[in-house]
Structure 1
C-alpha cells in the first residue's frame, strides 16, 4: 500500500481552509442578523440614534454571507456528484 502524502496534505489543507471560511461566513451572517433597530427615543451619548440604514446594511450583508455559504456548499456537492 502506497500513500501519496502530498495529495493527502493538499486535501487536508483545502478542507481546513474551506471549513474556516464557511464557518466565518456563517458567523458573520448570524452577527449581521442579530443587529436590531434601536428603541424609539433611544439615545447614545446625548444624541438620537439613526441606525435604520446600518441595520438594513447589516441585514443585506448577512444575506450575502448566507448566499455565499449556500453557493460553496452547492459547489461542493456538485464536485462530489460529478
Structure 2
C-alpha cells in the first residue's frame, strides 16, 4: 500500500483554504446582520441599538446564500 502524499497534501490545502474562506464569509454575514451597538449619550443615557440598513442586510443575506450554496455543493459532491 502506497500513499500519494502529494495528492493528500493538495486535498488538505484546498480543504483548509475553503474552510477558512467559508467561515470568513459566514462571519461577514453575521456582522452585517447584527444591530449596531448604541452610543452612550453625554448625559449618561443609552439609546436603543440601531438596526442595520438595507445595504448591510442585503450583503449579509448574500453571504448566507453563498454559505448555503457551498454546503449544498459539498453535499452534492458527497452524494454523486
Same fold, TM-score > 0.5, yes or no: yes
What's 1:11 paired with?
Answer: 11
TM-score relative to the length of structure 2: 0.78
After TM superposition, which residue ranges in structure 1, 4 or more long, deviate above 3 angstroms? Answer: none
TM-score relative to the length of structure 1: 0.76
What's 1:81 paired with?
Answer: 79
The answer (yes or no) to whether the contact 1:30–1:62 under 8 Å persists in 2 is yes
The answer (yes or no) to whether the contact 1:35–1:55 under 8 Å persists in 2 is no
Could you tell me how far apart the structure 2 residues matched to 1:35 and 1:26 are?
16
Alignment of 1:19-30 (within 5 A): 19-30=19-30
Q: Which runs of 5+ in 1 are unaligned?
A: 43-50
CA RMSD of aligned residues (A): 2.2
Which one has a larger percent strand, Structure 1 or Structure 2?
Answer: 1
Structure having greater relative contact order (Cα 8 Å, sep ≥ 6): 1
Q: Which runs of 5+ in 2 are unaligned?
A: 42-49
Aligned residue pairs total 70
